[in-house]
Amino acid sequence: MNKLDAQRQKEIQQAEELLFAGPQALGFAKGLFQGHFVSDWVMPYPRIPAAQQTELNKALAELRQFLDELDPAEIDRQADIPRKVIDGLGRVGVLGATAPVEYGGRGFTQMANCKLLEEIGRRCASTSVFVNAHHSIGIRALLLFGTHEQKQKWLPKLVTGEQLGAFALTEQEAGSDAANVQMQARPTDDGAHFILNGEKRYITNAAIAHVLTVMARTPVPSSDKTAITAFLVTPDMPGFTVLDARMQKMGIRGTATGRFALRDVKVPKENILGPMGKGLKVALTVLDFGRTTFGACCTGAAKTCLRLAIDHANTRKQFNKTLGEFDLVKKKIARMAADAYAMEAMTTITASLIDRGLEDYMIETAMLKVFTTERLWEVINDAFQIYGGSAYFVDLPLERMLRDARINQIGEGSNEVLTSFVALVGMRGPGMEFKEIYDTMMKPSRGQISRAWTAGMNRLGAAIRVPDVPVKSEQLRAHARQLGRCIWRFNFAVNRALIAYREPILDMQLVQERIAGAAMDLFASTCVLSRQDAEIQFARRNGDSAPPDQSAADLFLRQSFRRVRHFLSGLTDNDDKSLLATAKSYLAKRPS
Ligand X SMILES: Cc1cc2nc3c(=O)[nH]c(=O)nc-3n(C[C@H](O)[C@H](O)[C@H](O)COP(=O)(O)OP(=O)(O)OC[C@H]3O[C@@H](n4cnc5c(N)ncnc54)[C@H](O)[C@@H]3O)c2cc1C
The burial class, CB within 10 Å (0-12 / 13-18 / 19+), for 583 is: exposed
**Cα Rg, the chain, nearest whole Å:** 25
Closest to ligand X by CB, 172 vs 551, is 172
Among residues 412, 436, 474, 535, the one annotated as catalytic is 412
Distance CA 135, CA 213 (A): 12
- Measured from each CB, the residue nearest to ligand X is 175
Q: How far is the CB of 369 from ligand X (least distance, A)?
A: 11
The burial class, CB within 10 Å (0-12 / 13-18 / 19+), for 480 is: buried
Distance CA 525, CA 530 (A): 8
E strands, 188-283, in order = 193-204, 211-219, 226-233, 240-244, 257-268, 272-273
Name the phi and psi angles at 582, rounded to 5.
Answer: -65, -45
Q: How far is the CB of 167 from ligand X (least distance, A)?
A: 5
Q: How far is the CB of 496 from ligand X (least distance, A)?
A: 23
Closest to ligand X by CB, 358 vs 417, is 417
Residues 6+ apart with CB under 8 A from 277: 218, 220, 227, 228, 229
Distance CA 243, CA 308 (A): 40
Distance CA 92, CA 172 (A): 37
Closest to ligand X by CB, 241 vs 454, is 241
Q: Within the chain, what is the greatest distance between any pair of CA atoms?
A: 82
Count other Cβ atoms within 10 Å, centred on residue 238. 9
Residues 6+ apart with CB under 8 A from 410: none
Residues 6+ apart with CB under 8 A from 355: 46, 109, 110, 111
Distance CA 30, CA 534 (A): 24
Closest to ligand X by CB, 325 vs 416, is 416
CA distances to 41, 538, 549 from 546, rounded to whole Å, are 29, 12, 9
Sign of torsion over alpha carbons 341, 343, 346, 352: negative
Q: Where does 394-508 have alpha helices with state H? A: 398-405, 415-442, 446-464, 477-501
Q: How far is the CB of 370 from ligand X (least distance, A)?
A: 12
Containing H/E element for 186? strand 184-187
Count other Cβ atoms within 10 Å, centred on residue 467. 21
Cα angle vertex 156, ends 154, 158, to 5°? 70
Closest to ligand X by CB, 141 vs 487, is 141
Closest to ligand X by CB, 206 vs 555, is 206
Q: How far is the CB of 59 from ligand X (least distance, A)?
A: 25
Q: How far is the CB of 177 from ligand X (least distance, A)?
A: 6
The burial class, CB within 10 Å (0-12 / 13-18 / 19+), for 96 is: buried
Q: How far is the CB of 137 from ligand X (least distance, A)?
A: 7
CA distances to 101, 157, 208, 211, 274 from 150, rounded to whole Å, are 16, 12, 21, 12, 11
Distance CA 6, CA 503 (A): 15
268 neighbors 192 (Cβ within 8 angstroms): yes
Count other Cβ atoms within 10 Å, centred on residue 181. 26
Q: How far is the CB of 399 from ligand X (least distance, A)?
A: 18
Closest to ligand X by CB, 409 vs 559, is 409
Instruction: Tell me whether residue 118 is one of the annotated catalytic residues.
Output: no
Which residues bind to ligand X, rule: CB under 6 A?
133, 167-170, 175-176, 202-204, 249, 252, 257, 407, 410-412, 414, 416-417, 420
Q: How far is the CB of 202 from ligand X (least distance, A)?
A: 4
Closest to ligand X by CB, 111 vs 297, is 297
Q: How far is the CB of 413 from ligand X (least distance, A)?
A: 6
Sign of torsion over alpha carbons 402, 403, 406, 407: negative
Q: Which sequence positions are flagged as catalytic?
A: 412
